[in-house]
Each structure stands twice: as C-alpha cells, then as structure tokens.
Structure 1
Amino acid sequence: MSAEDTIVSGVAGRYATALFELAEDAGAIDRIAGELDQLDGMIAESEDLTRLLRSPVFSAEEQERAMGAILEKAGITGVTENFVRLVAKNRRLFALPGMIEGYRVLVARHRGEVSAHVTSAHELSDEEVKDLTAALTSSLGKEVQLDRKVDASLLGGLIVRVGSRMIDTSLRTKLNSLKIAMKEVG
C-alpha cells in the first residue's frame, strides 16, 4: 500500500484500512459496509452501547462477550464479527465509530464517490437533496453521497463540508458576522 492510499489515519484508520483490505479480498465490501452501518446505527441509538465502547471500567473479556452477544442478536457474522471481536480484545472499542467512518471513506474512494457532510436548519426535502447532490456532483466531477444532519441552531441555510473544504451559508454565521461588524463600528 502506497502512502497516497492512506487517506484515513491514526488507530481508527489503520483498523479501517485492514478491514477494507480483508473485505476486498473476500469480495464483501458492500456486505461489510451494510453491517457496519447497522452497527453504527445501534451505537447511535443506545447510550448503554456507547458507554460500553468508551468506558475503561469494562475488561477486554467483558467487552468482547458483550459485543459478541450484540452482534449475534443483530445477525452480524463473518469478517465483521471477527473484526469487532478483535477490536474489543485489543481494547480499541473506543475507536470503533472512527473505524466505521474510516471504512466508509475507503469504500467511497473505491467506488469513485465523494462524501459531503451537510448540516441544515431543517430536514431537507427530497427535491432539495436531489438539487444539492446534482450541484455538488457537477462542481466536483464525482458522484456525491450526502451525509445529512439537522441542527436547528443554524436558524436557516446550510453548512456543506467536502473533505477539508467547507461552505457555511447558515443564518447563524451571517448574524454572528454582522454582530462582530457592528461591534467594530460602534
């Protein structure tokens, strides 16, 4: 693997890269991506599961047993199950959400896609999502996958982040800029 292939870094990046290489060899990139998305959803919905991942109070054996039971109940087997069990055994569960995100980045790159993180003040309609996706695809010259989030504190507008680039058209930012400008004047 060359240095330019390393697009995710740190502990989470190394694990995500290793999992991606295993998935590629097994021809199971999409299946594993689906299982990781399922696991990520479970983490997002459960405070107890989040606590299990982050708490140093649980031993590696307890974490591995608990994750094994959760994976079995969710029907997650094979490479993904072995991967999560290894992560637990190595006391790296705290980094699992980052590993999942790193795997998504690698899958998107493999498919020639780009991920755009979009934060809006309200839930975007299907038409707005379609228009935004088309505009970003046209601008970037690559297929774009939107990762959407709602933050009512924006008041209006959008924040779009693609890689290290960010476009902030939120009303909150515009009002803050106006407030700073008014303080400078008066």
Structure 2
Amino acid sequence: MATRNYATATGQKEQKVKVPLALFGGSGNYATALYIAAVKANSLQKVETEILDLVEATKRSPKFLEFTKDLSVPKDTRIKAIKAVCGDAKFSDITKNFLVSTKLLASVLAENGRLRNLETIAKRFVQLTMAHKGEVKAIVTTVTKCFKGVLEPLPPQEEKELKETIQAIIGAGKTVLLEQKIDPSILGGLLVEFDQKVFDMSIKTRAIQMERFLRDPVNIANI
C-alpha cells in the first residue's frame, strides 16, 4: 500500500510511466515506486546517485549501518535521523520523500522499518535505471597473476575483445557495461554473467566435471 501511495502521490496522476522491467517482491515494489516517481519528476539520474551515495555511506559507517538495521530503534528516532541525513546531503525531494514520511505520504522506508533493506532496494532500482538506458551489466570473473604474484584483471585488449563478443550476443540497441572480479578459487579461465545467463569456462568447473566423469562406473557394453 505504501508503494502504491508513493507512486501516485509524488507525481502527476495523468502521466503514464512505462516500467522497463517487471520486479517482484517487497524490494522490487519499492524500487519500482521510486523509479516511477523519479521519471515523473525528470530526476532519474539524480535520484539514482543519491540512493547509491546513501548506500555507500552505510558501508563506510558501521554505526550508521547498524542503525538502519536495528528494528528496536523507535520510529520517530529513525525518521528524525534520516531527515537530518537528507538535509545535510541536500537530497532531492523525491529521495527524501522515499526515505522519510511527508505530508504527501504516510510512510515509506524509515517509518516502515525498511531501512535495513536499502541496499537491496537500491540494487533493484539500478536494474530499472539500466534497463531504462538500454544498458546490460556483464560480470566477468577471472584469476590472473602477474610476474610478482599480484592478482590482476584482464589485460585491456582481452577486456575489449570480451566486451565486443558480449555486445554481439545481446545485439544492437543495448550497451554492455563490463565489471571485472578476481576470484583465485576458479583456478583459471572465465566466468561470465549477464542478462540472467551464466557462461562458466573456469578451470574449477572443468575439474569438477572431469572428477564426476572419472567417478562414474564404466559401462562395458558401451565400449
């Protein structure tokens, strides 16, 4: 109910907003409501920046993170604290209205005790903004060692070629945003994730598959 009220109360009722991606669950509903309000206010980029900045602030401050997750904190205290944060950060009205109660909206995150879900909601919101901009995030996990034994990401040329390959797969009209991760446990090769697809070309997975093959009993009849 809060998300439905938020979506209609903060924008013009006659304006129709097409949501580029269907999200489900509580965090999906909140993210969708925020997206609709931000689009109506023509503040999508600004709201995205503000929400991500707030998430980063919780990561930099263990006390603030604990505060957002502590349900024993009285509702009035939560609201007062988040209002102060919004004021100091000069957040837009859309972001402030989403985080704390206003005259237009009875309650959202702070009053509902949903601050603990802020990071999850922010991730779902970014899914919507990326879909809005036609962007596809591709996560590439590798393990590469330089001669000093320091782990490094893919060399620029290999990164460029991989990005071009993914771009060819998803087709024109979308832009690939490549994010690299390093995980020594995969032993070598690549693990590529994008658009709800996973391409596992890691040595670790190949080794597991080989182990399973060697453990299977040999069927003499098939030899």
Q: What TM-score, normalized to structure 1?
A: 0.82
Q: Distance in 1 between matches of 2:62 and 2:179?
A: 22
Q: Distance in 2 between matches of 1:90 and 1:39?
A: 18
Q: Residue 11 of structure 2 corresponds to which residue in structure 1? A: none
For residue 76 of structure 1, what is the amino acid of its counterpart? F
* 8 Å Cα contact 1:105/1:115 also seen in 2: no
Q: How does 1:27-46 map to 2 (within 5 A)?
A: 27-46=42-61
Q: Residue 60 of structure 1 corresponds to which residue in structure 2? A: 75
| Shift, 1:14, TM fit | 0.8
Q: Distance in 2 between matches of 1:59 and 1:10?
A: 26
Per-residue CA deviations over 1:43-80 (Å, capped at 9, x if unaligned) read 34443333333332323333333333444444434211
Q: CA RMSD in A?
A: 2.8
Residues 25 and 158 of structure 1, relative CA distance in 2, 3 Å threshold: same
For residue 196 of structure 2, what is the amino acid of its counterpart? S
Q: Among 112, 115, 125, which residue is 2:137 paired with?
A: 115
| Shift, 1:135, TM fit | 1.5
Unaligned runs of at least 5 residues, structure 1: none
| Paired residue secondary structure (1:169) | strand
More displaced 10-residue stretch of structure 1: 103-112 or 33-42: 33-42
Residues 63 and 118 of structure 1, relative CA distance in 2, 3 Å threshold: farther
Q: Among 187, 195, 203, which residue is 1:163 paired with?
A: 195
Give aligned pairs, total. 186
Identity across aligned pairs (percent)? Answer: 27
- Runs ≥4 in structure 1, deviation > 6 angstroms? 1-4
Q: Residue 23 of structure 1 corresponds to which residue in structure 2? A: 38
Which structure has the larger Rg over C-alpha atoms?
A: 2
For residue 156 of structure 1, what is the amino acid of its counterpart? G
Residues 31 and 4 of structure 1, relative CA distance in 2, 3 Å threshold: closer
Query: As a proportion of its length, which structure holds more helix?
Result: 1
Q: Distance in 2 between matches of 1:44 and 1:126?
A: 30
| Paired residue secondary structure (1:158) | strand
Matched, 1:151 2:183: yes
Per-residue CA deviations over 1:75-134 (Å, capped at 9, x if unaligned) read 434211321223111111122112111111111111122222333335344444333222
Q: Residue 92 of structure 1 corresponds to which residue in structure 2? A: 114
